[in-house]
């Protein structure tokens, strides 16, 4: 599923191409991202909202395929293709997106250490993997990046969030910022269907330490990466490094 780095990559790329173009009779005046959602703002105050879910793609000037759900035609002849193999993704027009944006927790690239620490003051007994993936707690982190953040911080994904020390919380915060920023620079992780707005694969998957590496050796200690289920989702980790 496209997570924060993938959607942010698409936002940055599309902003260079479609701001100022006309669609549905309205000029595009801005592009925003909230959590894993892309928001295209129009001059009349309306917005086009996209959630790519598991397999959605937004390709600028792409070619329609059997998986194309919608073609958005701009008045200059260019277009935006919305593909979705699994058909879980969606788009819609909205006049007010405030209620939608307020459903999510703070943005991980913007939150301060103090505010991040305050999330843990709730003394949540939720497992830390699920805690990081809870969009109401913090926005935009999913399966891939929760695994990679916890590996980098040497935190076992089954630990309860309220068991982390102040030093461990600080380390999770630091690794969260570092990994998400690096993933954006590398245009995201293409593990399955994700492509950027130009139809290209992101290259951060080459740097994955645990996600998708079940049964392989840990690059840090040479232990074996394991995969377990937490809350119905897969968690990849090194039992030796992440005790």
Hey, which residues are catalytic here? 2-3, 36, 233
* Dihedral sign from CA coordinates of 110, 105, 95, 19: positive
């Amino acid at each position: 599923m496209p997570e924060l780095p993938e959607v942010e990559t698409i936002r940055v790329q599309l902003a260079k191409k479609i701001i100022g173009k006309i669609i549905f009779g309205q000029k595009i005046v801005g592009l925003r991202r909230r959590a894993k959602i892309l928001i295209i703002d129009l001059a009349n105050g309306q917005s086009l909202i996209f959630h790519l879910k598991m397999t959605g793609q937004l390709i600028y000037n792409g070619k329609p395929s059997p998986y194309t759900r919608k073609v958005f035609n701009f008045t200059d002849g260019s277009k935006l293709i919305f593909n979705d193999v699994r058909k879980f993704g969606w788009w819609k027009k909205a006049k007010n997106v405030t209620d939608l944006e307020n459903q999510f927790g703070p943005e991980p690239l913007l939150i301060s250490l103090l505010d991040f620490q305050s999330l843990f003051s709730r003394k949540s007994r939720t497992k830390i993997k699920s805690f990081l993936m809870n969009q109401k707690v913090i926005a935009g982190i999913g399966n891939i990046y929760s695994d990679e953040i916890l590996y980098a911080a040497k935190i076992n994904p089954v630990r309860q969030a309220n068991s982390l020390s102040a030093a461990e919380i600080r380390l999770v915060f630091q690794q969260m910022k570092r990994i998400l920023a690096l993933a954006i620079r590398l245009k995201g992780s293409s593990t399955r269907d994700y492509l950027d707005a130009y139809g290209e694969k992101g290259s951060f998957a080459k740097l994955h330490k645990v996600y998708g590496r079940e049964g392989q050796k840990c690059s840090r200690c040479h232990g074996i990466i394991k995969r377990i289920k937490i809350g119905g989702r897969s968690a990849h980790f090194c039992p030796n490094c992440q005790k």
